Amino acid sequence: MRYSRDNMAGLLRSHDINPTHQRIEIAYALFSRMEHLSADQVMTQVNVHHSETSKATVYNTLNLFLQKGLIREVIVDPNKVFYDPNTRPHHHLYDVESGRLTDIDAEEIHINGLPPLPEGMTMEGIDLIVRIRKAA
């Protein structure tokens, strides 16, 4: 499925999010590229033409999307969070030098031998991060 600005309202509504102008722009920034973006990058993208959307709105909206399950958070870099429009189960390849983040499909990956969870706990998710760098 290709995403256009016109898809966005429906996508938002289907996740129980009231589609406003700003929310559509932010969703479009993420879904049209299908890339991992930091809050800052989203902010820049959304405001390429004129400055339309405030920092507060960008953060509010990303957190709203997160909470509604529209996007995921990827924590690999000590000083910024990346937002990931891909919510299918998958893992990440992280180039520690360039900061580039790439998806690894979870389909063919199998993880065996995980210990049982502590009493009364549920698993929220498994993140697998493969850190790579240019060979020396």
Partner DNA sequence: CTAGAGTTTGGACTTTGTCTAATTGCGGCA
Partner DNA sequence: TGCCGCAATTAGACAAAGTCCAAACTCTAG
Residues near a second copy (CB under 8 A): 73, 75-78, 81, 93, 95-96, 104, 108-115, 117-118, 120-136
Residues 92 and 77: their CA atoms lie apart, in Å, by 12
- For 104, phi then psi, to 5°, come to -125, 125
Which residues does 19 contact at the CB level (< 8 Å), separation at least 6?
Answer: 8, 9, 12, 13
Pairing type for strands 101-105 and 80-84 reads unpaired
- Supply the minimum distance, in Å, between the C-beta of residue 89 and DNA: 23
Q: For the window 42-61, what string marks contact with DNA as x by the rule CB under 7 A?
A: ---------xxxxxxx-xxx
Count of Cβ atoms closer than 10 Å to residue 101 Cβ: 18
Q: For the window 92-131, what string marks contact with DNA as x by the rule CB under 7 A?
A: ----------------------------------------
The footprint of DNA on residues 21-40 (CB under 7 A) is 21-23, 38-40
Question: Hey, what amino acid is at 38?
Answer: S
What residues line the site for DNA (CB under 7 A)? 18, 20-23, 38-40, 51-57, 59-61, 63, 78-81
